Structure 1
Amino acid sequence: MTSLLYLCVHLRDFAAQSLACSHPELCSRAVAVLSGDPPLERVFAMNRPARLLGLESGMSRVQAESFPVEVLCRDRRQEDAAFAELMSCAQQFSPKVEMIASPQEETCGATIVLDVSGSERLLGSARQIATKLQKSMHALGFETSVAASQNAYAAVLAARGIQGITTIEPGNEKKTLAPLPLSILGLDDAQAHTFETWGIHTLGQLAALPAKSLVARVGQSGLRLQALARGEYNHFLVPAEEPADAALCESRELEHPVELLAPLLFLLSQMLEQVLQRAAQRAQAIASLETCLILDSNVSGGDTSYTKRPEHRRTVRPALPERDRHTLLKLIQLDLELHPPEAAVIGLRIEARPARPQTMQQGLFAAHAPEAGRLEILLARLRKLVGESRVGSPELLDSHAPEAFRVGSFEVGRAAIQPDVHSTKQSANASALRMVRPPRMVAIELRGNTPSAMHYEGQRLRLQAGSGPWRTSGAWWTHPAWCREEWDVVLQEQSPRCLRLAHDPGANCWYVIGIYD
């Protein structure tokens, strides 16, 4: 039977570490991260140089600024992106990964547990796996503590309380955890005050208390805390499953402001490759891609803090979910050439929305339709040449204005309108109106207010009968307003024809807009 083996990775002050990963220049400085709404901001996390200066969690902004530290606001979006990289790295060692503490919670650290049971032959001993995992995390820019044990929560407490790599042999959980402080259990204020009154400061002291007396004074929660202190608490690992429609994010900070598009495209290409690899692991493609360029506030006149920079956002939506990096990069390039940023760029962030890839039946010798990627690039180039409002698919507007429409984005796969069989049979003898585009201007002779003759196609034609007018108007409160009067008339010929005329009262012009079959 395969023995259980759990690995725990703990990152102290994860908020500060995530900022240092995106801003390498902060690694050598003392940094304090604030959380909360002004003016009640408090120190939430800090790096090691700031802690050595005497900075403590819970200090106000005024107190933090009295130290020679870099005071920054918490960037939850950056934390989420960094935590996604952390989870992706952990899942390379095991598909069973549980989040014990994450940036979504109000904790300054991040803790994850991996179930690596049965992987010793593939990855080596417990210490070897822990060493490889720590090196992988360090390559991403994270300082971690890793612990391995057959008990999941024993590994969690060891990783939180002991720096570096800790391997707990079976049966030594209580001995290894004994010198650790009681605070790593996450006690509430009442529990902390009770144990402080009793003089209990370490896990070993808590583990040595009589169980019955502890339950009688503290309750069932005391029994759970003692089991944790002894390394005997049984934990059922629940692997974290990312939603199928969760966004795929990548971000990167630049050392110097960049004004040219070519170097930005080089970095975006690398970021796209990472996003597409993560999408391929889900067997998905990219349905939409948002590019966020973080601008230099010294040029655009904004806030100079790292977490409050002006942004230039653009979104590209391929007609079909796309997997090709070159196609997506070309779409971003054409869109940024059409909508360039207003200042130099100091940071990049992309957010991709995944979707199921489109499956299409191909022909035996040739494709049934143009390739979606090449077609999308062609449309993007046309938008750059003639304007965005002139390329796409026409969409009818909810208006009584004649032929009111707008040009929307091109979409594939719209359901075709099925004809109503019953209505077709009932109206089999009805005439069809064929619209004349563009409408033909004609001269009309009136008898009173009714058309009596018209000059059409070089001839003067008498009107045998007419019906109308039907008046429509709208948008009189804006410019331009529209107004139209329509008539159905029958020409007096050997084979009478029925036409539809339109009169524009504003311009006093008549047009032929339709011919009945």
Structure 2
Amino acid sequence: MAVREDRTSVLACVDDEARKQGVAPGMSTARALARCSHLAVLEKNPSAEESAMGWLIALGFGVSPRVEATAAGEVTVDLRGVKNLEEMAGQIADRADRAGIAIRVGISDTPERAQWASYGRSHLSHAVTDEGLFGGMGLHEIPLPAEILRRLREWGLTCLLEFVRFAKGAVASRLGPEGVLLWERMKGRRARLLTVIEEPPVFRREMELEHRVETLDQALFIIRRLLEEVCSSLLAAGKIARSLELFWRTEAKVEGGHGFALPEATARVTPLFAMIEAYLSGVRTEAALQLIGLEAEPGDPLPEQRDFFEISAKSPFQFQETVGRIQGFLGEEKVGVPVREPTHHPDACELVPASTRIQVEEGAMTYGKNLGPALRRFRPPRPIEVWCEEGRPVRCIWKRSSHRIQAVRGPWRISGDWWDPRYRWSQEEWDVEWGSQFFCRLVRVPSGKWRWEGVYD
């Protein structure tokens, strides 16, 4: 990877294959290409580096609650209390392999020595002795101060272990306080406290778009990439997503988004992407997209005890995908499960988000004696003309046809919300019969108008 300093491109880091060809960090790009003509030089990508650093921090929190962002691309984790360090290191390596990210793990007794252990030739190094840490490690493999590095080379040293074996007095007389401080840190005699990250990691990824995104396929391609990064960070931290938030901003500076209440907590990309794709199939924006992002609410992957009195969907994500498609066509406010409101207003209900689990109400499965015929309501009620004699309905007109009311019961007067002028209501209900065995309910409101509210079975 190359960065530019004073108009000169230098290498910030190199991989193992480049090291074998004599290429080292800090070398100019021209010099590196002269040594290795087939060297692939990549420009620095701040967005990708930020994403990788977020993944690395999440990986650290998956191991310990004490994590320090030491430097760009480096995280230090306090492992005190971990019993099996080798097993833990293997789990870290497995998570990195699944994410497709190459990392180096160094374990030692102080933060500095752990950092130097990660510079070794092995991807996993666990050492607490001087020989295990610095044996066979060249001077260029650890970033040393330039003046100290120059003097060590003048002395003819080629291995860091030779420097560590010096006596403290010899180091002080030749290199001064700076050399003594470095020697004590390499010997593990001086350890620092970690600057712990106080807040847990945020599983959020967003992308500023350089080119116009106007089609659904273009947006889905970017969303898939962001979703893979979010899920990878979740798995690295040992977490799963309990909910997901999709957000965007258009070129007209109009922001939009949608929250997904997941039917089951997961960190699998395929079902989450299918749910997002189903929702976006019915979404249209007035301008091209300028920014797209995703954020997941993390949760612990603990087994969940199901309720015995509960009905669950066989395929929760397929159910949620279907609901998402319906919401995309009809709008979120028109899709849901009707739930009765705590009021005496007839047929008063609200829509709540559709859930993959339905709680069976107590007594819902009992079979008792029917109290009477069921009223099948019209939604919305139908306006109708009614003639009355002595305050009782005697004839009604529906679709220009006049019908004589043969029997009538009522009225039943009900009202509610009288304390609030905005929502107060009142009405009187009549059960009537017209035609041949045709029973229905008519309602008169305070304005004097009538409504046909439904029919009885």
Q: TM-score range by the shorter chain?
A: 0.5 to 0.7
- 1:114-153, aligned counterparts within 5 Å? 150-153=108-111
Note the C-alpha offset of 1:381.
2.2
What is the alpha-carbon distance in structure 1 between the residues aligned to residue 226 and residue 419 of structure 2? 48
The answer to whether 1:508 aligns with 2:452 is no
Note the C-alpha offset of 1:411.
1.0
What is the alpha-carbon distance in structure 2 between the residues aligned to residue 458 and residue 229 of structure 1? 102
Matching residue's letter, 2:406? L
What is the alpha-carbon distance in structure 1 between the residues aligned to residue 404 and residue 313 of structure 2? 47
Distance 1:397 1:206, change over 3 A: same
1:158–1:177 Cα contact (<8 Å) kept: no
Note the C-alpha offset of 1:511.
3.6
Note the C-alpha offset of 1:410.
0.7
- 1:240-251, aligned counterparts within 5 Å? 248-251=203-206
Cα-to-partner distance string for 1:438-476 (whole Å, 9 max, x where unaligned): 2675735331xx42646699553254x645433457798
What is the alpha-carbon distance in structure 2 between the residues aligned to residue 353 and residue 435 of structure 1? 44
Q: What secondary structure sits across from 1:287 in the alignment? A: strand
**Residue equivalent to 2:252:** 300
Matching residue's letter, 2:389? L
Matching residue's letter, 1:436? R
**Residue equivalent to 2:67:** 99
The equivalent position to 2:339 in structure 1, one of 376, 395, 410, is 395
What is the alpha-carbon distance in structure 2 between the residues aligned to residue 176 and residue 347 of structure 1? 57
The equivalent position to 2:164 in structure 1, one of 163, 167, 172, is 172
Cα-to-partner distance string for 1:244-266 (whole Å, 9 max, x where unaligned): xx753334454434333322312
Note the C-alpha offset of 1:503.
0.8
The answer to whether 1:202 aligns with 2:178 is yes
What is the alpha-carbon distance in structure 2 between the residues aligned to residue 147 and residue 430 of structure 1? 71
1:316–1:335 Cα contact (<8 Å) kept: no
Q: What secondary structure sits across from 2:355 in the alignment? A: coil
Cα-to-partner distance string for 1:299-333 (whole Å, 9 max, x where unaligned): 436xxxxxxxx754332334344555344223323
Matching residue's letter, 1:268? I
**Residue equivalent to 1:352:** 296
Distance 1:118 1:237, change over 3 A: farther
2:413–2:428 Cα contact (<8 Å) kept: yes
**Residue equivalent to 1:84:** 54
What is the alpha-carbon distance in structure 2 between the residues aligned to residue 283 and residue 29 of structure 1? 39
Distance 1:345 1:452, change over 3 A: closer
The equivalent position to 1:485 in structure 2, one of 413, 418, 427, is 427
1:101–1:111 Cα contact (<8 Å) kept: yes
**Residue equivalent to 2:272:** 328
2:319–2:356 Cα contact (<8 Å) kept: no
Note the C-alpha offset of 1:152.
0.8
**Residue equivalent to 1:291:** 246
**What is the percent sequence identity of the aligned residues?**
18
Distance 1:435 1:442, change over 3 A: farther
1:319–1:412 Cα contact (<8 Å) kept: yes
1:257–1:346 Cα contact (<8 Å) kept: yes
What is the alpha-carbon distance in structure 1 between the residues aligned to residue 265 and residue 182 of structure 2? 57
Note the C-alpha offset of 1:239.
11
1:113–1:152 Cα contact (<8 Å) kept: no
Matching residue's letter, 2:427? E
Q: What secondary structure sits across from 1:505 in the alignment? A: coil
Note the C-alpha offset of 1:380.
2.2
1:499–1:514 Cα contact (<8 Å) kept: yes
What is the alpha-carbon distance in structure 2 between the residues aligned to residue 175 and residue 351 of structure 1? 54
Distance 1:469 1:98, change over 3 A: closer
The equivalent position to 2:189 in structure 1, one of 232, 237, 241, is 232
2:247–2:255 Cα contact (<8 Å) kept: yes
Note the C-alpha offset of 1:229.
9.1
**Residue equivalent to 1:316:** 260
- Give the gaps of 5 or more residues in structure 1: 1-20, 31-47, 49-74, 124-131, 181-199, 208-226, 302-309, 362-367
2:58–2:236 Cα contact (<8 Å) kept: no
Q: What secondary structure sits across from 1:380 in the alignment? A: helix
2:52–2:73 Cα contact (<8 Å) kept: no
What is the alpha-carbon distance in structure 1 between the residues aligned to residue 105 and residue 322 of structure 2? 54
Distance 1:412 1:292, change over 3 A: same
Bigger shift: residues 324-333 or 77-86: 77-86
2:168–2:180 Cα contact (<8 Å) kept: no
What is the alpha-carbon distance in structure 1 between the residues aligned to residue 106 and residue 453 of structure 2? 85
What is the alpha-carbon distance in structure 1 between the residues aligned to residue 453 and residue 265 of structure 2? 44
The equivalent position to 1:260 in structure 2, one of 211, 215, 227, is 215
- 1:183-222, aligned counterparts within 5 Å? 202=178, 204=180
The equivalent position to 2:386 in structure 1, one of 443, 447, 460, is 443
**Residue equivalent to 1:112:** 76
What is the alpha-carbon distance in structure 2 between the residues aligned to residue 202 and residue 313 of structure 1? 54
Matching residue's letter, 2:53? F
What is the alpha-carbon distance in structure 2 between the residues aligned to residue 164 and residue 78 of structure 1? 25
Note the C-alpha offset of 1:418.
0.8
What is the alpha-carbon distance in structure 1 between the residues aligned to residue 167 and residue 283 of structure 2? 63
Distance 1:510 1:394, change over 3 A: closer
Q: What secondary structure sits across from 1:461 in the alignment? A: strand
- TM-score, length of structure 1 as denominator length: 0.49
What is the alpha-carbon distance in structure 1 between the residues aligned to residue 424 and residue 257 of structure 2? 37
Distance 1:472 1:113, change over 3 A: closer
Note the C-alpha offset of 1:100.
3.5
Distance 1:87 1:446, change over 3 A: same
Distance 1:236 1:119, change over 3 A: farther
What is the alpha-carbon distance in structure 2 between the residues aligned to residue 169 and residue 97 of structure 1? 33
1:473–1:483 Cα contact (<8 Å) kept: yes
1:149–1:170 Cα contact (<8 Å) kept: no
Q: What secondary structure sits across from 2:357 in the alignment? A: coil
Q: What secondary structure sits across from 1:202 in the alignment? A: helix
1:452–1:462 Cα contact (<8 Å) kept: no
- TM-score, length of structure 2 as denominator length: 0.54
Q: What secondary structure sits across from 2:220 in the alignment? A: helix
Q: What secondary structure sits across from 2:359 in the alignment? A: coil
Cα-to-partner distance string for 1:273-302 (whole Å, 9 max, x where unaligned): 34334545677654322223355xxx436x
- Give the gaps of 5 or more residues in structure 2: 7-25, 27-45, 118-138, 144-158, 307-311
Q: What secondary structure sits across from 2:389 in the alignment? A: strand
Distance 1:88 1:318, change over 3 A: closer
Distance 1:316 1:286, change over 3 A: same
Cα-to-partner distance string for 1:22-64 (whole Å, 9 max, x where unaligned): xx9xx5478xxxxxxxxxxxxxxxxx9xxxxxxxxxxxxxxxx
The answer to whether 1:419 aligns with 2:363 is yes
